[in-house]
Amino acid sequence: MSTTEAPSPRPVVVAACQLGPVHLADSRQDVLNRMCKLLDQAARENVKLAVFPELAFTTFFPRYLIEGEDLDQYFDIEDPSKGGIEQSPNIKPLFDHAYSLGIDVYVGYAERSIQEDGSHIDYNSSAYYSAHANKIVGKYRKVHLPGSVEPKTEPGAFQQLEKRYFHPGNLGFPAFRAPGLVPGAVKKSDASASPAENNGKGDPIIGMLICNDRRWAEAWRVYGLQGIEIMCCGYNTTAFQTTASGHMVDMSPDAAEDLVLLHHKLSCQGNSYMNACFSINVAKTGAEDGNPLVGGTIIVHPLGHIIKEAKTKEDELVVASIDLSDCYRLKNTVFAFEKHRRTEHYHPIVEQTGAIEPELL
Known catalytic residues are: 54, 142, 211
Q: Is 175 in the site for its own copies (CB under 8 A)?
A: yes
Q: Which stretch binds its own copies (CB under 8 A): 13-21, 89-97, 201-209, 279-287?
A: 201-209
Binders of its own copies among 217-236, rule CB under 8 A?
217-222, 224-227
Q: Is 340 in the site for its own copies (CB under 8 A)?
A: yes
Q: Is 242 in the site for its own copies (CB under 8 A)?
A: yes
Q: How far is the CB of 38 from its own copies (least distance, A)?
A: 28
Pick from 118, 183, 290, 358 the residue near its own copies by CB under 8 A: 358
Binders of its own copies among 155-174, rule CB under 8 A?
168-169, 172-173
**Residues paired with 236 in a beta bridge:** 284
Pick from 13, 77, 185, 248 the residue near its own copies by CB under 8 A: 185
Q: Which stretch binds its own copies (CB under 8 A): 35-43, 64-72, 92-100, 351-359?
A: 351-359
Q: Is 350 in the site for its own copies (CB under 8 A)?
A: yes
Q: Which stretch binds its own copies (CB under 8 A): 41-49, 75-83, 287-295, 336-344?
A: 336-344
The C-alpha atoms of residue 106 and residue 350 are separated, in whole angstroms, by: 29
* C-alpha neighbours within 13 Å on the C-beta side of residue 53: 35
Q: Tell me whether residue 69 or residue 359 sits nearer to its own copies (CB atom).
A: 359
Q: Is 361 in the site for its own copies (CB under 8 A)?
A: yes
The C-alpha atoms of residue 361 and residue 355 are separated, in whole angstroms, by: 18
The C-alpha atoms of residue 157 and residue 246 are separated, in whole angstroms, by: 5
Q: Which stretch binds its own copies (CB under 8 A): 8-16, 62-70, 111-119, 216-224?
A: 216-224
Binders of its own copies among 287-306, rule CB under 8 A?
303-305
Q: How far is the CB of 45 from its own copies (least distance, A)?
A: 26
Q: Is 25 in the site for its own copies (CB under 8 A)?
A: no
Q: How far is the CB of 230 from its own copies (least distance, A)?
A: 13
The C-alpha atoms of residue 295 and residue 239 are separated, in whole angstroms, by: 9
Q: Is 153 in the site for its own copies (CB under 8 A)?
A: no
Binders of its own copies among 84-143, rule CB under 8 A?
143
